[in-house]
Structure 1
């Protein structure tokens, strides 16, 4: 699943300097996708952009895009008829309450057409991104005030929540030396936050960042000592990657004990040979495991706090994300698969 797109619409102001201010403030807020006016191609030199779509007279020059204004049920019917006929539909309206947005999302999702909703307020943008859990594919920020764009900054880390369940520890056993991965992110994490990691794709344990003080080393709240190189970690969009594949610049999923997630960025990964241990746990039906460094500073998240892996014992409850099916190149597939 692709990450949500956040566009700034910078084609509307009559004055070129005003359009430029929208772009510069957007770039300073971390937004890398833009709708620009035809003739403003030089704005792409202001910063590294991921997307630059050009409009002429308020309409896209790319015929695979369409802007649809919906103010009546008839307008909605005409917009829905474009499903599968355009790559992107940008939807705007004076009153979102007259549109069953859920219907539009469902219709366009099955057709392959992406839906971007125009938002003038951050609160509206957050709602559109979460409607029907999956939300629209992106939002287009439309404002006359360049300084207000910074209010939308948090949207860049919007991510869907994940379900967490309690699993019961069956055993904790030391292993031989192994290659483990420390993931240092560009983000500071709080106690209870970390990454979802596991030997099996259908059970990912919540491994806490080094955000709690202890008597051994200083806190490193940007770091998750994530485990052995073979293990899966969850990434934004619901996919997984092997820890051995993760490197600087990659996005990773940061999760807290309530299942709330946000997108983080990897600053570096360190693979080092360390003594390892295996934690086995069960949901009452199957037994799963996670292989971690055998050190006091590595902690798993529990329903009420966190626990060092060196102090875990049989019967302890820890939090994990349980899923059905398997993974193919990191994406979830519905198939019967056994891992042991």
Structure 2
């Protein structure tokens, strides 16, 4: 996740209000305007002198930036930068910050050398695209590859403790969380975005599965559903593999009747325990949700396959079999 700062020089209250509503990490203003911003919201405000700007007009400018970064100084590379000089900086520092004014520039900066800059400073001329820039650099976690799996079993599994994850975000049709018995085979469990004649939609909620199940988290991690807690960031995944961050508002663990759902991709089979209720859905290969009540053998649903092997949620190299 990249840092997004917004520069409002000269001072523009409308732009600053937009930046605060967008969720930027900090706002840069002239020294005399710092207290004005602090009166609007609890946020990080930086005087522009604290982050001097270096324009790359020659190799000497690049060398100056390298030297100042090596000393631990915070500098910003002026808009108009080119990829090769930024690559040179990234080879020597993890604290590279560049100016941008468009979403395309922000995405380019975030992807250089596959790890990108640490932060971008959005200039006033980029205000129109600020919300999209924040969503791309702070909420998106890239794309995950989802594949269709063939359902091989849907079986009653008795009572169990299941975890209902209520987030502070509203999800759309086709979005949910990746959950499974194995970190190497997770099912896209759909958010409660659909309403029926008995139950209203709860688009902030994923009724995610049994307490013991793995859930895919930001940063290529997993955790057990039972360990999720309010304030923690979780990974929301779309049927197209797109990702976003959401913050847990609360988790509800309750005893409910459960179903065991198994599916296969090639020679690999995975499983997940989900509540036996019409509102609980997985996702068809075309992105449409299907209730576990209607699910049957032979149906195709979306899953993610991966290499097994996790220790405290972190990927490790180990011979392991999870069922």
What is the TM-score normalised by the length of structure 1?
0.80
Say whether 1:329 aligns with 2:312.
yes
Q: 1:307 to 1:90 in 2, by over 3 A?
A: farther
Shift of 1:216: 3.6
Identify the match of residue 141 of structure 1 among 122, 131, 150: 122
Aligned length: 320
**SS of equivalent residue, structure 2 residue 173:** coil
**SS of equivalent residue, structure 1 residue 194:** strand
**SS of equivalent residue, structure 2 residue 206:** strand
Alpha-carbon contact 2:5-2:122 (below 8 Å) kept: yes
Shift of 1:263: 1.7
Say whether 1:282 aligns with 2:267.
no
User: How far apart in 2 are the matches of 1:38 and 1:154?
Assistant: 28
Bigger mean CA offset, 73-82 vs 194-203: 73-82
For structure 1, the residue ranges without an aligned partner over 5 or more in a row are 60-66
Deviations 1:220-259 (A, max 9, x none): 2222111111222222322222222223332222111110
User: How far apart in 1 are the matches of 2:112 and 2:83?
Assistant: 15
**SS of equivalent residue, structure 2 residue 165:** strand
Q: 1:148 to 1:300 in 2, by over 3 A?
A: closer
Identify the match of residue 301 of structure 1 among 283, 293, 311: 283
Alpha-carbon contact 1:251-1:264 (below 8 Å) kept: yes
**SS of equivalent residue, structure 1 residue 244:** helix
**SS of equivalent residue, structure 1 residue 337:** coil
Q: 1:227 to 1:87 in 2, by over 3 A?
A: farther
Which residue does 2:244 correspond to in 1? 262
For structure 2, the residue ranges without an aligned partner over 5 or more in a row are none
Shift of 1:265: 2.4
Bigger mean CA offset, 206-215 vs 72-81: 72-81
Q: 1:140 to 1:256 in 2, by over 3 A?
A: same
Alignment of 1:1-340 (within 5 A): 3-10=1-8, 12-13=9-10, 18=11, 23-35=16-28, 42=35, 43-44=37-38, 46-49=40-43, 51-52=44-45, 56=49, 58-59=51-52, 68-73=54-59, 75-76=61-62, 79=65, 85=70, 90-97=75-82, 99=84, 101=86, 104-105=89-90, 107-108=91-92, 113-143=94-124, 149=130, 152-155=133-136, 156-304=138-286, 305-340=288-323
Shift of 1:286: 2.9
Shift of 1:192: 1.2
Q: 1:150 to 1:98 in 2, by over 3 A?
A: closer
User: How far apart in 2 are the matches of 1:86 and 1:335?
Assistant: 40
User: How far apart in 2 are the matches of 1:86 and 1:331?
Assistant: 32
User: How far apart in 1 are the matches of 2:242 and 2:197?
Assistant: 29
What is the TM-score normalised by the length of structure 2?
0.83
Shift of 1:88: 7.4
Shift of 1:54: 5.3
User: How far apart in 2 are the matches of 1:133 and 1:98?
Assistant: 12
Alpha-carbon contact 2:51-2:76 (below 8 Å) kept: no
